[in-house]
Chain A
């Protein structure tokens, strides 16, 4: 892509960040009264909203009921005004369905579903503003919402995207960096144990570079987990103060 330099000679990216620098993450939990758990997360200019209902009775077909664990129902959608050009089909298209499936699989790995047999947990995520890293913002917001709903998980689920430009891994891509056609790797992991919940990469990458890219992704995810932990503790402190004592 002529004229668009993702990485300058001094090591700065298009938005002024360094290669391993994450975008600013701001989050709030418990924002909606109706839902069991909710969270609002801003990762740079990407805004995601996650709402959790459950555990409750399985709605819809009885066939979905699992005798030994909870069923996780996810839905990912984007607001029509979230992208620069109005999104005509906010949900039901292939990309949304794929994201929904990925979210479901990620959280099935993390939530202790065997504690709630024959029930259902709903996780709804909505992207209000899209500027790259949609999947990561969703996973991070959903983690906070699940924690807010008091549903036990093995660990935080933190996600981040990394790219590869000029033999350097770039952490936390924004929309411009993602659409440049280079390597995009999205990873969701459980930081304390270092286990990977989901890994997805679409692009050509020489296998020698894979290790450094995975390393960069893991470091980025651990960075995200620190921020999320801070948010949860802050929220807990506020709630404790409000409920007295």
Chain B
């Protein structure tokens, strides 16, 4: 009976739950879905992580290559993020929208890396003007059920924390880089940004961590990225209905709490791996 109602009039179905201040999957309006983290599942990648927020699963793999630094900033390396939404992640027809979503997500992640200074590009430089690291961050969505951006950011952070780069020295005589695969060291992560996504229904009801159905019915979506010093790194609200200032403050508060939750989870997993 409920399934029939859901298919026939999804908006009314969701609204009937929101009136009672809860959601179809039993969550409160400001409750995130269960987040699970698996660090280092792929050994061919320099760093990897698999993150699941509810049903949304995202895998991030980091590959490092050597390159010549750009001429306008000879002491910096490159970080190249790429978000991919292959056909296996969702059953919706592939005729435009998912591709755009992947491209937009890639640009968003690139902006977050830039603005939050997650990794200082100077750390990636091995020798000024001659050699630097290029970190290819390939983020792949394996199962899509809403809230792609948050999951991607956590996956990226976890994978970078897991990344080990081999020591590289340049032979003074031959000018050829020598890679020592036995001596590996982790990258220094400067800041730890964590995102929180919100969806708005009819200017009034604000929910946290929307599922795929909720996202398609919402009148506006918004993503906030905070770092550990309580600074706002990025705010992404692509159009949609207007949001009042005080609601925004409430969102920032929620995002700060979420940041602490994720960092605690990340530290717990990394510490348990060290044992």
Selected from A33, A56, A84, A130, the residue in CB contact (under 8 A) with B143 is: A33
Q: Total number of A-B contacts with CB less than 8 angstroms?
A: 78
CB-based contact B61/A79 at 8 Å: yes
| Residue of A80, A81, A82 contacting most chain B CB atoms (<10 Å) | A81
CB-based contact B57/A32 at 8 Å: yes
A83 and chain B: residue at smallest CB distance: B44
Interface size for B (C-beta < 8 A) is: 30
**B15 proximity list for chain A (CB < 8 A):** none
The 0/1 profile, CB within 8 Å of B marked 1, for residues 81-93 of chain A is 1111010000100
Is A184 interfacial (CB 8 A cutoff)?
Answer: no
Stretch at the interface among B88-96, B165-173, B202-210: B88-96
The 0/1 profile, CB within 8 Å of A marked 1, for residues 219-235 of chain B is 00000000000000000
**A124 proximity list for chain B (CB < 8 A):** 86-88
CB-based contact A34/B86 at 8 Å: no
Is A126 interfacial (CB 8 A cutoff)?
Answer: yes
Selected from B82, B93, B144, the residue in CB contact (under 8 A) with A34 is: B144
A91 to B88 alpha-carbon distance, docked (Å): 13
| Residue of B94, B143, B144 contacting most chain A CB atoms (<10 Å) | B143
A94 to B55 alpha-carbon distance, docked (Å): 33
A32 to B90 alpha-carbon distance, docked (Å): 10
A154 to B42 alpha-carbon distance, docked (Å): 34
CB-based contact A35/B88 at 8 Å: yes
Binding site for B on A (CB under 8 A): 32-36, 38, 45, 47, 49, 51, 53, 56, 59, 75, 77, 79-84, 86, 91, 122, 124, 126, 128-131
Binding site for A on B (CB under 8 A): 41-45, 48, 55, 57, 59, 61-63, 65, 82, 86-91, 93-94, 136, 138, 140, 142-145, 212
Given contacts A32-B57, A81-B138, A86-B65, 4 further A-B contacts (CB under 8 A): A34-B90, A80-B82, A84-B44, A124-B86
Cβ contacts A to B, 6 pairs, < 8 Å: A34-B143, A35-B143, A47-B42, A81-B45, A81-B138, A82-B44
